Structure 1
């Protein structure tokens, strides 16, 4: 039995570090086109680009993509998805995957994996994925978000700090820290039930959310369960700055040109 799901790709023009990022050229195509291709590879029943900018909308419509124009003042991509879910009248149980518009190397199989993971865990409002850390530098980096799960795979906490803290290894009392493979790095790929998305903008922000700059902490603070699956593969890097383009373009070239 198949589980239909919708992919919504939030694509904001006014990025502080990289304005116009969704339109950046990769192999001669706007980056948003590559992201849409990853969504298509997932087997999603419906794919929408949610944007606040006419140029992004035009580029998507030229390729036959479905576009929803949204407000420009959303504080997060989740708020943008919430507007789309409300405007489209999605059923509460409809599964919506948030695929960021700067992830042209996110494998379609992971997009599908996170959607099916949420479908398999009826008591979860959100599902997401994680991979094993590969170095202690990654464990310690504030740019790599770590997650600790319970025995059933539900998130206990997300942090930019190296959690769990290796008391003896990190203090130097017992020599080198343990293998980095004992830490989980969170991937910014989420599946939501549409009913939760509609509730999200009205939820009070969580105190640790502002400190960590991690919006998923709001869901945990309000008692929403988040299931964290182990990703079937490690995705390529996203595009945060103009300097990331060359590396991502080379990796895309190795995969072959977009169809």
Structure 2
């Protein structure tokens, strides 16, 4: 299985400008993401960026990177741009979020395994059991409903299903909710098709790109993870990340 990991990394961020170059305990965030991705079963790990500063930095620490158009509307488009520049065949392409410095190699490997198990797999992503009320009702943590085969039926920023017969404090005791972890894998031909789709009504309503794919009839297979993740979006997230790194050093 030839799997290529591509990490989209934009410099612009309204809440944390220059986010990929944020220092996290002596290494930038993008370097930590690359190093974690290299531990997975990937033949290549490539950064796709719209900024010369990020490109230069990645090349300086020995990474591989491509400069992509600054006009791409999504990370998916940026990933496809980099894949086209690579110009090599692949069985699947893994879109690894550039703001996930604690991504675990087994999470990436779980998506690769879905394509190994069934070459007809079009798209794949990760889900994780919801454990707290805060997670369940946070609009920043999209939830996902699956069918009996583990394929996504719908993603929402609101908890689904809505449990009409129980107060919200009891929802977690009555149903096994799953949250979405934003790690995607695509067959190359499917990725090319996705970049040609216009925004959909469901996507615009929820601000979730994956709904565009579902609305157009694509199938998203899921794998479950229990590993904790911490995406970095705000200065407060940086503080939490530094705390996690400090704790891991003490435990080592």
Query: TM-score of the superposition, structure 2-length normalised?
Result: 0.93
Secondary structure in structure 2 of the residue aligned to 1:182: coil
1:86/1:198 contact within 8 Å kept: no
Deviation string for 1:75-103 (max 9, x for gaps)? 11001011122233343x62111111110
Give the drift of 1:180. 7.0
Task: Please state if 1:123 is matched with 2:150.
Answer: no
Paired with 1:162 and 1:144, the residues of 2 have a C-alpha distance of 10
Match of 1:192 in 2: 186
Give the drift of 1:234. 2.0
Task: Please state if 1:245 is matched with 2:243.
Answer: no
1:24/1:30 contact within 8 Å kept: yes
Match of 2:7 in 1: 9
- Which moved further from structure 2: 116-125 or 236-245? 116-125
Aligned with residue 97 of structure 2, among 96, 100, 108: 100
Paired with 1:67 and 1:150, the residues of 2 have a C-alpha distance of 37
Match of 1:45 in 2: 43
Paired with 2:205 and 2:17, the residues of 1 have a C-alpha distance of 25
Query: TM-score of the superposition, structure 1-length normalised?
Result: 0.91
Give the drift of 1:123. 2.9
Aligned with residue 255 of structure 1, among 226, 248, 252: 248
Gaps of 5+ in 2: none
2:126/2:180 contact within 8 Å kept: yes
Gaps of 5+ in 1: none
Paired with 2:2 and 2:196, the residues of 1 have a C-alpha distance of 27
Give the drift of 1:48. 0.3
Paired with 1:212 and 1:170, the residues of 2 have a C-alpha distance of 24
Aligned with residue 177 of structure 1, among 148, 171, 181: 171
Map 1:1-259; keep pairs closer than 5 Å: 3-91=1-89, 94-170=91-167, 176-179=170-173, 182-231=176-225, 233-256=226-249
Matched length: 250
